Structure 1
Amino acid sequence: MADTSTLQPIETLTVQTARAAMERGLAAIKAGQTVFDLGSVKQADSSAVAVLLAWQRAARKGGSALSFVNLPAGLTSLAALYGVDAFLVATPANLRHH
Structure 2
Amino acid sequence: MLTLPPVLTHAEAAGFARGLKQAVLSQPAGVVADAGALKEFDSSALAVLLECRREALAAGKTFSVAGLPARLRQLAGLYGVAELIPAAAAPAA
Superposition TM-score tier, normalisation by shorter sequence: 0.7 to 0.9
The gaps in structure 2 that reach 5 residues or longer are: none
Whether 2:36 is the aligned partner of 1:39: answer yes
CA contact (8 A) 1:39 1:70 kept: yes
Give 1:49's match in structure 2, choosing from 36, 46, 49.
Answer: 46
Alpha-carbon shift at residue 91 of structure 1 (Å): 6.5
State percent identity of aligned pairs.
Answer: 37
Change (3 A) 1:84 1:9: closer
TM-score, length of structure 2 as denominator length: 0.82
CA contact (8 A) 2:3 2:35 kept: no
The gaps in structure 1 that reach 5 residues or longer are: 93-98
TM-score, length of structure 1 as denominator length: 0.79
Alpha-carbon shift at residue 8 of structure 1 (Å): 4.6
Aligned-CA RMSD value: 1.8
AA in 1 matched with 2:56: A
CA contact (8 A) 2:3 2:33 kept: no
16-25 or 68-77, larger mean C-alpha shift: 16-25
CA contact (8 A) 1:37 1:71 kept: yes
CA contact (8 A) 1:12 1:42 kept: yes
Structure having the larger proportion of residues in strand: 2
AA in 2 matched with 1:89: P
Give 2:72's match in structure 1, choosing from 54, 62, 75.
Answer: 75
